[in-house]
Structure 1
Amino acid sequence: MPLYKIITPNSQTVVKIWKITESFNDLMQAVNLKPKSLERVLGMKSEMHQRGFLSVRCLLKAFGYEDVDLSYDENGKPYLKDGKHISITHSFHFSGVIVSDAIIGIDIEKQRDKISTIAHKFINYEASYLKNTVSDYIKKLTIIWCIKESLYKLFATPGLSFKQHCLVIPISDNEQETIAWIDYEDIKQRYQVQFLEFEGFTCAYAIK
């Protein structure tokens, strides 16, 4: 099974990334789904989404969990029955899961030119340091999007805006980490964020 990468940001946190090469049938045979999950995956119209869903369950197994150990709260945020924090992502043929004692969020995105057409929807403060970026503009935008998506997932609060409430400190060319903030109503929270690139994809994960 293609466990693509394992990252240990600290002693309480582990990230595992899966490269989805198996067929839908092979993935189905590799996992045990509770009835609600089986109904959900069979109802998906896209096989890519089905395989992404199932690969996440394979990652759960890699952490020592089963599908039955995973639930979602009223805001759609996943949680584990043993109390550990979890965040989940998948994009095309990659999926990722992060598990930690701390509050965390993760996102994987494919690097695509079309992200520039929606930049105005999620970039605010960051525009001030992106204006001189030329050669790696798409990559920088994708990193910022991934970071803000990971913040959105860990905060899991209706009304949170990527543009208005999430702020990403300038990203240095030779670094793979930065600081990000959520400034929402009377809440100001600081997060350590790490990111990496592989095979035309970007992954970012935030840790409170």
Structure 2
Amino acid sequence: MPIVSQHQDQSTYAIWRIEESEAWFLEQLQLSAAEHAQLEAIKGWRRMEWLAVRQLVAALVPGAERAILVKDEYGKPHLHNSPLHVSISHSHQLAAAMVGKKVLGIDIQQIVEKIGRLAPRFLSPRELAFIHPAEHRIAHLHVCWCAKEALYKAYGKREIDFCDHLLLDPFDYQTEGGSFQGRVIKDEFEATFALKYSKFEDCMLVTATILEV
């Protein structure tokens, strides 16, 4: 069931704890033939994640007809016949979705210790230098990882280097959540995004919303 809903700057995001059965989601969503075909190609727990994010998007975009997710040539999700932007994410028992009028992205990840070993793969030396050195280091790193994932989803195209093309401004980690800025710079594309983060249970959540020039 939806457990968190937050409005921010012409957008709304929500988190769903996946507790329902597959049959429950199928009854609620009434999938089209094309959607059924997509679902049949998915195995295991990923089926539940696929269903949950669609149920969440349906809850965020109320209307006479259910908002249907389609993907473009790069795999970025869009809402069929809608000008709204959408982004989705999931981690273990949680699904997250964000819908709004501006280019946006969302990412949720379970907090795990091994991210400390992986940090140099997605953070530049400049970014590693501002990471909290002690008790909040793992949480701080997860904010950075989720922020870059959210930026990547907002950009929506492939061939992105997380260290070179997704850039984070320095920020101090706050246990109560906080905000900072990041940029996507790739070829002729350059945009700045407002990034907001919060910890939910054992997961970190970050949203990215493009800033008007």
Corresponding residue of 2:38:
40
SS across alignment from 2:114: helix
Corresponding residue of 2:69:
70
Question: Does 1:61 find its partner at 2:51?
Answer: no
For 1:168 and 1:27, the matched residues in 2 are separated by: 37
Cα deviations by residue, 1:111-170 (Å, 9 ceiling, x for unpaired): 01122222121010311112x512111111111110000110110122111111111112
TM-score after normalising by structure 1: 0.91
Matches within 5 A, 1:164-203: 164-174=164-174, 175-203=177-205
Q: Which stretches in structure 2 are left out of the alignment for 5+ residues?
A: none
* TM-aligned CA deviation for residue 40 of structure 1: 2.2
Is the CA contact 1:34–1:68 (under 8 Å) kept in the aligned structure 2?
A: no
Matches within 5 A, 1:1-208: 2-10=1-9, 12-46=10-44, 48-63=45-60, 64=62, 69-80=68-79, 81-124=81-124, 125-130=126-131, 133-174=133-174, 175-208=177-210
For 1:77 and 1:187, the matched residues in 2 are separated by: 17
Is the CA contact 1:33–1:68 (under 8 Å) kept in the aligned structure 2?
A: no
* TM-aligned CA deviation for residue 92 of structure 1: 0.8
Displaced runs of 4 or more, over 3 A: 65-68
Is the CA contact 1:34–1:67 (under 8 Å) kept in the aligned structure 2?
A: no
Letter matched to residue 48 of structure 2: R
Cα deviations by residue, 1:158-208 (Å, 9 ceiling, x for unpaired): 211111111111222335111111122243311101111111101111000
* TM-aligned CA deviation for residue 38 of structure 1: 1.5
Q: Mean alpha-carbon deviation: is it higher for 92-101 or for 58-67?
A: 58-67
Q: Which stretches in structure 1 are left out of the alignment for 5+ residues?
A: none
